[in-house]
Amino acid sequence: MSALVEQISQSAKLVSLPDIYLRLKAVLDDPNSNLADVADVVGTDPAMTARVLRLVNSAYFGLATEIATVSRAISLLGSQEVHDLVLAVSVAESFDGMSNEVMDMSRFWRRSVVCAITGRELASMCNVLDSERLFVAGLLRDIGHLFIYQAAPQKAQQAIQLAKLQNAPLYKAERAILGVDYAQIGADLMRRWQLPQSLWEPTECHLEPERSQEYSLFNCLVHIASALTEAAEGDLDLETVLSQVSPHAWEMTGLTPEQCQGIIAKVQPQVGAVINLIFPSLQGASA
């Protein structure tokens, strides 16, 4: 491992998830636990309880009745979905207040939320039952850039310039300049957090979904969601971006470019509300 890669990796090691999430994960990993135990853990943190209930009762979920308690939310949504909601909120909390010379944090989280919602929409189109996991996978897929831009801002800028000069994907320029790309850094962090493979693998492999190990469909959905996000947030031509999607992703998901062209129009109206629910400190991000 080069000194630069080690420097970036050490920066990532400094970030840990809140205690509430760690305790929740321990309960869920315990085969003897039950839904009441899950509710008890979340209920010990009033702020987390409030944010989870706000999410569950938001238009994003579109439930017919109001959910007043965490135990009710768990009984309706299931422990995995509640886990993923708490994880999303925990990630937001862990990075709250992080500043960066290279990156506009509001813009970064907006793009992440767009990708998250897009992944969820695509998962629904493919009849994936745990579509909320695709929300979290989309939200986290770019997280490695936070550490690259913080630990090596000058090299990161060189990679951005090289990508533009060569009209090449940014991750290939990062590999050339840094010896590592953002997906590898992000997946390494997520493994340190002991997140499930269904989350870290789409981060590691979404750039080249044919490299998938166990979660090929998830990888391919995040791959397509990333492409749609780049088109929407980078003001790029959608048809051109979709033409660059891996054929493996189209084959695995059964989706077509034509089906995906209307996704962003469904996603955009949801973005501002979801940002305000998960990242309340970024009030200007939804603009």
Query: Which CATH number do you get for residue 241?
Result: 1.10.3210.10
Select from 79, 95, 111 the last residue of a domain.
Answer: 95
Q: Which domain range does residue 54 map to? A: 16-95
Q: Is 286 a residue whose pLDDT tops 50?
A: no
Q: Does residue 158 belong to any structural domain of this protein? A: yes
Q: Does residue 4 belong to any structural domain of this protein? A: no
Considering the domain architecture, whether residues 84 and 167 belong to the same structural domain is answered as no
User: For the purposes of burial, counting CB atoms within 10 Å of the CB of 40, is it exposed (0-12), middle (13-18) or buried (19 or more)?
Assistant: middle
Band of the pLDDT at 78, cuts 50, 70, 90?
Answer: confident
Mean pLDDT across the stretch 60-71?
A: 83
Considering the domain architecture, whether residues 278 and 227 belong to the same structural domain is answered as yes
Under 8 Å between Cβ of 206 and 188: no
Question: In whole angstroms, how far apart are CA 78 and each of 82, 84, 85, 109, 129?
Answer: 6, 10, 11, 26, 12
Considering the domain architecture, whether residues 62 and 127 belong to the same structural domain is answered as no
Q: Does residue 11 belong to any structural domain of this protein? A: no
Q: What is the DSSP string of 10-53?
A: HHHHT----HHHHHHHHHHH-TT--HHHHHHHHHT-HHHHHHHH
Q: How many CA atoms lie within 13 A of 260 on its CB side?
A: 31
216 by DSSP, 3-state: which?
Answer: helix
Q: Does residue 7 belong to any structural domain of this protein? A: no
Residues 167-201 have pLDDT tens digits of 888 999 999 999 999 999 999 989 988 899 999 99
Considering the domain architecture, whether residues 116 and 41 belong to the same structural domain is answered as no
Considering the domain architecture, whether residues 230 and 146 belong to the same structural domain is answered as yes
Under 8 Å between Cβ of 142 and 108: yes
Considering the domain architecture, whether residues 79 and 149 belong to the same structural domain is answered as no
Considering the domain architecture, whether residues 125 and 161 belong to the same structural domain is answered as yes
Cut 0.85: pTM above it? yes
Select from 68, 95, 122 the last residue of a domain.
Answer: 95
Considering the domain architecture, whether residues 81 and 159 belong to the same structural domain is answered as no
Q: Does residue 9 belong to any structural domain of this protein? A: no
Q: Does residue 8 belong to any structural domain of this protein? A: no
Considering the domain architecture, whether residues 186 and 205 belong to the same structural domain is answered as yes
Residues 208-226 have pLDDT tens digits of 999 988 999 999 999 999 9
Select from 48, 64, 95 the last residue of a domain.
Answer: 95
Q: Does residue 104 belong to any structural domain of this protein? A: yes
Considering the domain architecture, whether residues 110 and 82 belong to the same structural domain is answered as no
Under 8 Å between Cβ of 252 and 220: yes
Considering the domain architecture, whether residues 203 and 112 belong to the same structural domain is answered as yes
Number of H helices, E strands in the chain: 18, 0
Q: Is 164 a residue whose pLDDT tops 80?
A: yes
Considering the domain architecture, whether residues 76 and 144 belong to the same structural domain is answered as no
Domain count, the chain: 2
Chain mean pLDDT for the chain: 87
